[in-house]
Structure 1
Amino acid sequence: MGKVLKRIDWTNSLFLTLTPVAAVAAVIGHVMYEGFNPWTLLIAFFFYWATGMSITVGYHRLFAHRSFEAHPIIQFFTLVFGAASFENSALKWCSDHRVHHTHVDTEEDPYNIKKGFFWAHIGWIMVRPTKPETYPMSADLRRNKLVMWQHRYYLPLSIFVGIIVPTLIGAWMGSPLGGLGIGALGRIVLVHHTTFFINSLCHMVGDKTFNDEHTARDSWITAIFTFGEGYHNFHHTFQADYRNGVRWYHFDPGKWVIKSMSWVGLTRKLKKVSDETIAMARIQMKDKGVHA
């Protein structure tokens, strides 16, 4: 029992378990003492969009996979609001993610789905790593001054932008508890679990459209809540592609934002897999009878 307790990361565990409780308490206080202010939903929507998009476009497609290049302004925005998501620094997040792709579904995979839904979803975050944190596969990120700046100041950045700013905006609107409970804490919980569902649900439910050699699956439902991240089988098969939803009707706002920014010079060198390669992978899966 002692060994188990020593492995628990109490900071992460308490934050992940108490944040929903604090959010509910703050929302109740907001309704009881301030009266429900619908403008607090606008705060939550903006910060949900800014933090979720920063994880999708910034942490994931830009920094982890280098699927495009971005102007320093875009890097700065996604690093600041990525911190406000409370999903760790970009250096830590991307290092874990690269290890996940390299060792998917094995013991070396940080969020290996074969250890169960809970482990892949949130359990892996609640325990300390068995080895010292060295941030493997991150030499390029260490050379990025903005990434290292965010890594050094991650905690104050996350608290200020993710909690204090929404609360102050709520106070300016006459609802500090609403800003705290809905715009900050409630939004943090929602962004957390929609992101976590990519690591858990998208390795369990959905279609293996392009490859059946890994557990990743395409799920249009999770794509709706994660700015297009739900097309996970495509992503694991063609991880360098800046798109996740490859067809025109796939809901992938991350793809649309990256593409639209390229028109004004804020992004460039967008990487795409050829249509022929994608079609061949789809045909091979249909021939196997795997994809319905």
Structure 2
Amino acid sequence: METIMNKPPIIWLNLSLFVLTLGGAITLVPWRAITHGFDAVEWVAFVVLVFYSGLSITAGYHRLWSHKAYKANAVVRFFYALGGALALQNSALHWSSDHRVHHKHVDNNDKDPYSANMGFWYSHIGWMLREYQAHRYHDYNNVRDLQNDTIVMWQHKHYLLLTILMNVGLPALLGWFHGDVLSMLLLAGLARLVLVHHCTFFINSLAHIWGSQPYTDKNTARDNPLLAFLTYGEGYHNFHHIFENDYRNGIHWWDYDPTKWLIKGLSWCGLAGDLRKVPQERIESAKLQMQLKRSQHRIAGHKDAEELLESLQLEYERLKQQLLAYYEAKKELLEARRAELCVKELSPKVAELKNRLRLAQQNWASVTAACR
């Protein structure tokens, strides 16, 4: 255990920022609400700035700059840079550097900047309050590619000024137009900032503690639809940690992932491109591997363990073979259509393989059910 004397020095700027903003949000905002009230315009500004600052982190800092999951027009990147300053989570260059280290050394207490194995408090906010890894503030070797982005470097150079302009100047300007500067500063400025801060921090903390692991258990990351709702789709974190370069986090159409929708919408407008997607067969294979692993664990100690394991492994191999065959044929069909070739022979083949895959999935479901 660390003693007080051995702990790294406190980063007083960060500590003061978090204490003052949280303190102001839980005292001044309720006081203003009770004594004066907030009107519809102020609430609309609050919601718009919540989404603007939050999506600038998720779509900009995270999926664009940290993971290069797609490419974006300079105008989009400029608005992300301003929105990132509004979110007040350090510059895009620094944020991306930290995040790439996190993915490279996830759950390593010595190297992961916000390792979940250090506990909820540390991974949520504690890692930012002390100089646990002082080199983080000057070593940007892992983001050399971003140093070639003039917008990233412009924001990094003028970050302090931009944060003041966006967090004080913008709400004050909106309040001046509306006729109530104080209310706008408190609601669209202060309350919005604290909400976005802690919802984002939940991805480093709660999303590594609470949820399911359908794709991998090699790290602590978890999928959690509730956290996805609070973080513009980032809560599908187990998927993200195994397929980090996919522009999506929620891969199903029903998954709440407004970051994915924004990126897709920008691509339709010609403002984004080269959207990266993990092949579906890799996703299904990862899920299948986890199902096998869990079933094997449940069988351990069963009186018919050897027989069940043999049956389980056999069905696993059959399903995996059918899975790969189906997606390979599907890919071949798609390429033929793109090349405007005859697809009459391929279509029945894909349909047949799809039927075989469904049968294999049914058999797999029966075998895994017997392992419960």
TM over 0.5: yes
Q: Which of 140, 143, 148 is matched with 1:143 structurally? A: 148
Q: Which has the larger radius of gyration?
A: 2
Matches within 5 A, 1:128-277: 128-132=131-135, 133-277=138-282
Give the 3 Å change call, closer, same or farther, for CA 243–66 of structure 1 in structure 2. Answer: same
Consecutive unaligned residues in structure 2, runs of 5 or more: 298-371
Secondary structure of 1:104's aligned partner: coil
Aligned-partner Cα distance in 2 for 1:55–1:199: 14
Cα distance in 2 for partners of 1:18, 1:29 equals: 16
Give the corresponding residue for 1:118: 121
The aligned amino acid for 2:233 is: G
| Matched AA of 2:249 | N
Q: Secondary structure at the match of 2:141?
A: coil
Higher alpha-carbon deviation: 115-124 or 136-145: 136-145
Q: Hey, what's the Cα distance between the residues in 2 that align with 1:129 and 1:157?
A: 27
Question: Which residue in the other structure is 1:281 paired with?
Answer: 286
Deviation (angstroms), 1:27: 2.1
What is the alpha-carbon distance in structure 1 between the residues aligned to residue 45 and residue 175 of structure 2?
8
Query: 1:84 is paired with a residue of what secondary structure?
Result: helix
Deviation (angstroms), 1:40: 1.2
Q: Match of 1:94?
A: 96
Change (3 A) 1:165 1:39: same
- Kept in 2, the 8 Å contact 1:26–1:180? The answer is no
Question: What whole-Å deviation, never above 9, does each CA across 1:186-225 have from its counterpart, x for those lacking one?
Answer: 0000000000000000000101110110100000000001
3-state DSSP of counterpart to 2:111: coil
Shift of 1:251: 0.5
The equivalences for 1:3-82 within 5 A come to 3-4=6-7, 7-31=9-33, 34-82=36-84
* Equivalent in 97, 105, 116 of residue 107 of structure 2: 105
Alignment length (residue pairs): 291
The alpha-carbon deviation at position 176 of structure 1 amounts to 1.5
Could you state the TM-score of these two structures normalised by the residue count of structure 1? 0.95
Distance 1:131 1:20, change over 3 A: closer
Gapped regions of structure 1 (runs ≥ 5): none
Q: Is residue 105–residue 114 contact of structure 1 (8 Å, CA) maintained in 2?
A: yes
Q: TM-score, normalised by structure 2?
A: 0.75
Distance 1:31 1:279 in 2: 49
The answer (yes or no) to whether the contact 1:113–1:119 under 8 Å persists in 2 is yes
Question: Is the 8 Å Cα contact of residues 125 and 201 (structure 2) preserved in structure 1?
Answer: yes
Name the CA distance, whole Å, in 2 between partners of 1:49 and 1:35. 22
Distance 1:85 1:150 in 2: 13
Q: Which has the higher contact order (CA 8 A, sep 6+)?
A: 1
Spell out, residue by residue over 1:267-287, the C-alpha distance to the aligned partner (whole angstroms, 9 max, x if none): 000000001110110111111
Shift of 1:165: 0.9
Asked if 1 retains the 8 angstrom alpha-carbon contact of 2:213 and 2:222, the reply is yes
Q: Is the 8 A contact 1:95 1:135 kept in 2?
A: yes
Deviation at 1:94, TM superposition (A): 0.2
Distance 1:97 1:19 in 2: 24
Counterpart-to-counterpart distance in 1, 2:179 and 2:31 = 13
- Contact kept? 1:81, 1:162, Cα under 8 Å: no
CA–CA separation in structure 2 for the residues paired with 1:222 and 1:51? 17
Q: Distance in 2 between matches of 1:262 and 1:168?
A: 32
CA contact (8 A) 1:210 1:285 kept: yes
Which secondary structure does the structure 2 equivalent of 1:230 belong to?
Answer: coil
SS at 1:156 equivalent: helix
Whether contact under 8 Å (2:113, 2:133) holds in the other structure is no
Give distance in 1, aligned partners of 2:149 and 2:96: 13
Write the distance in 2 (CA, Å) between the matches of 1:29 and 1:247.
42
Distance 1:156 1:22 in 2: 22
State whether residues 30 and 175 of structure 1, in contact with CA within 8 Å, keep that contact through their aligned partners in structure 2: no
SS at match of 1:128: coil
Contact 1:99-1:136 at 8 Å conserved across structures: no
Residues 176, 268 of structure 1: alpha-carbon distance in 2 compared, 3 angstrom cutoff: same
After superposition, give the CA deviation of every residue in 1:19-40 in whole Å (9 maximum; x if it has no partner): 0222344324534664432321
